[in-house]
A = this chain, B = another copy of it.
């Protein structure tokens, strides 16, 4: 079965995804019978298009930092809904950044257009789901298309699909997640080396783990975004950011971590959702986890999520690469799940 894929966004993750399509092409065809072709690749300047599938060698060169504009068939200015329409893809993959609190374009317009035109959408970009979850799901339902977003909900750490597939039929009563690798790395540094937040952040930046402008990670927003999308998927209500208290780790000090240790635990940046009677309480902030808590040992850039359900009890998932390759693999998994699972 031939699957035509269009990809929007050529940051680290978009490049890794293009590379993965080339690397895995033969294997995916053999194992799943899915012949995945990248028919359109778009960045903010334009798009390369080939209805028969862009050359695999070119995808490999993109993964290694090649320029999309050097691609034969690149059309300057071909972007947004016009590119979506031209692609005639089966699956639209959105890998543009939409990290800024206010901005969720071009992802939002692309995804809406793709779904409305009968394509499935796989998004690594959180903004549209954070700001317009119900609207996007409504468009997909009306069009008979599907939206998958593992790449926007902790990527190589499976969160939504474990809850939806592995806990199917159970009632999830609480979720706790260490969902941001950067913050967790900083807290781990602070705890182990007795550093201040500023020192921990500097160390994370020196290692290329924290962005030069780290506020979305360290102020808790990235965690809150992921938790919100997970909660909107799993609970039968649509929440918005204003339903959640959000605090980051900027006010955590070495003394707080030391005190937590003396009290038999540690401090982690936790996004949590808890069913209390009929209400679901969402929260993002530093949380004391006793050492016996299954997430207490999750350190460095590793992420983890802990579910409690009525019939299957406590379940913890930890790990998955916190890098562009892991995120690209999460998007690839989503595409496979559209056709195989």
Contact = CB atoms under 8 A, between A and B. Distances in A.
A311 interface: yes
Interface stretch (A153-161, A210-218, A275-283): A153-161
How extensive is the interface on chain A, given as a class? 35 or more
27 contacts: A20-B311, A24-B169, A32-B169, A158-B165, A162-B162, A162-B317, A165-B165, A165-B166, A165-B333, A165-B337, A165-B341, A166-B333, A167-B333, A168-B332, A168-B336, A168-B337, A169-B329, A294-B318, A294-B319, A311-B321, A313-B320, A313-B326, A314-B320, A315-B319, A316-B317, A317-B317, A341-B341
A319 B311 contact: no
A325 interface: yes
A336 B166 CA distance: 10
B318 A318 contact: yes
B341 A156 contact: no
B321 A318 contact: no
Contacts of A312: 156, 320-321, 326, 329-330
Contacts of A341: 164-165, 168, 341
A276 B157 CA distance: 25
A278 to B, nearest CB: 15
Contacts of A166: 158, 161-162, 165-166, 333
Contact of A333 (B169, B171, B314): B169
Contacts of A321: 311-313
Interface of A: 20, 24, 27-28, 32, 156-158, 161-162, 164-171, 294, 297, 311-321, 325-326, 328-330, 332-333, 335-337, 340-341
A325 B297 contact: no
Nearest to A308: B319
A332 to B, nearest CB: 4
A311 B333 CA distance: 10
A283 B171 CA distance: 36
A215 to B, nearest CB: 27
A310 to B, nearest CB: 9
Contacts of A332: 168-169, 311
- Which of A158, A167, A328 has the most chain B CB atoms inside 10 A of its CB? A158
A268 to B, nearest CB: 16
Contacts of A168: 332-333, 336-337, 340-341
A150 to B, nearest CB: 8
